[in-house]
Amino acid sequence: MNGLYTSRRGYKSKCLLCGLEANYVSEALGVCPTCVRERFEEARPYLATAHAKIRGRYGLPSKPPRASNGVECRDCGNLCKIPPSGRGFCGVVENSGGQLVRRFGTPERGLLTWYYDPLPTNCVPADFCAGSGGAGYPNWCRTPRGDIGYYNLSIFMGSCTYSCVYCQNYGYHELTVSGTPTISAAQLAEKADERVGCACYFGGDPSSQMPFVIASAKMMREVAEHEKRILRVCLETNLSMSRESLEDFTALSLNSGGGVKADLKCWSSEILYALSGIEHRWAYENFRWLAKQHSRRPEVPLARASTLLVPGYIDDEEIRSLASFIADLDPTIPYSLLAFHPLFHMEDMPFTKKEDAERFLKICHEEGLERVRIGNPWLLV
C-alpha cells in the first residue's frame, strides 16, 4: 500500500482473504484493496454479496439483469436485459408486457428534487467554470468573478446507474424507492428564471434519466435565448449514459457556456467493481469522445473530471493511470482530486490524508495535466 491512513474513528477491519487488519479495509466489502487487485476472482464473491446486501435494502436488482427472456435497455452502459415485470439496475426502467417502460426520466416525469444555490457555489469544477470562477467573461458570465448575485438551479436526480458503496449523495435511494417527488420537464424549466445563471444536473446520476434531462435543458435554453440572457447548463455524472444522449446534452452545454464533469471513479476494472458494482467501461469511452469536443471552446473548459480519493482503494497506481489517460486526451482538461468523507456503507473508513492528496497532485503534474486541484481540502487530515 502507498502511505498509511489515520481514521478519526480508530477502527480497523479485517480482510476476509488475506487477514490484513487496517483502517483502510472496508468492512462492508470485506476485502482489502490489494486483494481486490491481485486476487480478484477470489474477492468477487465477497464483493457481489456486499453489493447485493446493500441494494436489497432498497428492493433494487443486485446487479444489471441479464435475463434470457428479457428486453434489453440501451440507455446506459449496463445494457440490462430486464425480465418480465422486472426492473433495470437503475430502478426506473421496467419490462411491462415485453415492452420497456420508463417510470421516471421522461419529459413528462422526472424523479428529482431541486433548489436554488447562490453563486459562486462550491461545485466540483468551480475554479474552472464561468458561473463561479468567471471563465469566459463577458461572453459566458456577467462579471469577471462569475455570476455574483445570481443562482445555480441545482437539480438532484433521484436515481443512478451505479451502486457506489461510499456514495456521497446516498439520499437518492429514497427517491428511487418512493417514486417521489416528480416534476415535468416544462415545470422544471420554469424554475430557470431571470435570477438563474446556470442549471446543474447531478444526483444520484443524470445518466439514469437522460430523456428528461435533455428535454428540460432544451426548454431552459430556448427561453434564455429568446430573452437574450446567459444561462449555462451543466452535468455532473458518472458518464455511463448512451453516446447519443451524451452528444445531445454536450451540444446544449457547449452552446451555453456550461460543462460536463465526469466522475471517474478509478482506473482499474477490479476497483471499479468493488466500489461501484459495475463491470463495463462506457464512462471511459464516453470521456474519450467528450475530450475531443473540449478544444471547441477553450475559454471555458467543456470537459471536466474528478475522482474521490477513497483511502487505500484509490492509490498512486489508480491516480497515475487516470492522470495519464486524461493527459493523453487533452492536458488542459481540469481534474479535481476530491477528499474522501466517510459516508453510506464506508462510514468506518478514514478521511483522506493531506500528504497523500498532495502526492496525488504531484503525480498528476508528472503525467502532464495542467489544471489540477484538490477539492474539499478542509476534509484532509
Asked if 381 and 6 count as a contact pair (C-beta separation under 8 A), the reply is yes
- 98-118 pLDDT, tens per residue? 999 999 999 999 999 999 999
Arithmetic mean of pLDDT, 121-133: 84
Q: What residue has cell string 425480465?
A: 83
Written as nine digits, the cell of 19 is: 487477514
Backbone φ and ψ of 249, nearest 5°: -70, -40
Q: Are 262 and 230 in contact (CB under 8 A)?
A: no
Q: Average pLDDT over the chain, rounded to whole?
A: 95
Look at residue 324 and tell me whether its pLDDT is greater than 60.
yes
Q: Is the per-residue pLDDT at 3 higher than 90?
A: no
- Predicted pLDDT at 307: 98
Q: What are the structural domains, with CATH classification, of the chain?
A: 106-255 (3.20.20.70)
Distance CA 235, CA 67 (A): 32
Distance CA 5, CA 3 (A): 7
How far is the C-alpha of 234 from the C-alpha of 126, rounded, in Å? 12
| pLDDT of 311 | 97
Q: Mean pLDDT throughout 264-281?
A: 98
Q: What is the reported pLDDT for 125?
A: 79
- Cα–Cα dist 253/80, whole Å: 28
Looking at the predicted structure, is the pLDDT value of residue 5 above 80? no
Place of cell 470562477: 133
Label residue 6 by pLDDT band (50, 70, 90).
Answer: very low
Give the pLDDT confidence of 351-375 residue by residue, as tens digits.
Answer: 999 999 999 999 999 999 999 999 9
Instruction: Taking residues 295-319, report their average pLDDT.
Output: 97
Residue 213's φ and ψ, nearest 5 degrees, are -55, -50
Please state whether the predicted TM-score (pTM) of the whole model is above 0.85.
yes
Q: How far is CA 348 from CA 6, 28, 342, in A?
A: 11, 9, 7
pLDDT > 70? residue 9: no
Q: Residues of the chain with pLDDT > 70: what percent? A: 97
Q: Which of 243, 232, 75, 216 is nearest to 157 (CA)?
A: 216
Cross-strand pairs, 263 = 306
Single-letter amino acid, residue 271: I
Residue with cell 435511494: 173
Task: Taking the CA atoms of 264, 268, 274 and 280 in sequence, report the sign of the dihedral they define.
Answer: positive
Q: pLDDT digit string (tens) for 34-58?
A: 999 999 999 999 999 999 999 999 9
In this prediction, residue 121 carries a pLDDT of 86
pLDDT at 10: 56
Owner of C-alpha cell 456514495: 167
Is it the case that residue 249 has pLDDT exceeding 90?
yes
Closest CA to 282 of 237, 335, 233: 237
At residue 252's C-alpha, the angle toward residues 288 and 114, to 5°, is 105
The residue type of 313 is: Y
pLDDT value for 1:
37
Q: Is residue 305 packed enough to be buried (19+ CB in 10 Å), middle (13-18) or exposed (0-12)? A: buried
- For helices 269-276 and 40-56, give the axis angle rounded to 10 degrees: 20
Task: Say yes or no to pLDDT of 4 above 90.
Answer: no
> What's residue 137's pLDDT?
95
Give the C-alpha separation, 145 to 193, whole Å: 21
Cell for 144? 469577471
pLDDT band at residue 276, thresholds of 50, 70 and 90? Answer: very high
Tell me how far apart the terminal alpha carbons of the chain are, to the nearest angstrom.
Answer: 18
Does position 153 have pLDDT exceeding 90, yes or no?
yes
pLDDT of 8 above 50: no
Q: pLDDT grade, residue 7 (50/70/90)?
A: very low
* Residues written for the chain: 381
Cα 362 to Cα 200, 322, 327, 328: the distances in Å are 30, 13, 14, 17
Question: If pLDDT is split at 50, 70 and 90, which confidence band does 127 have?
Answer: confident
Element holding 365 (H helix, E strand): helix 354-366
- Over range 179-200, report the average pLDDT: 98
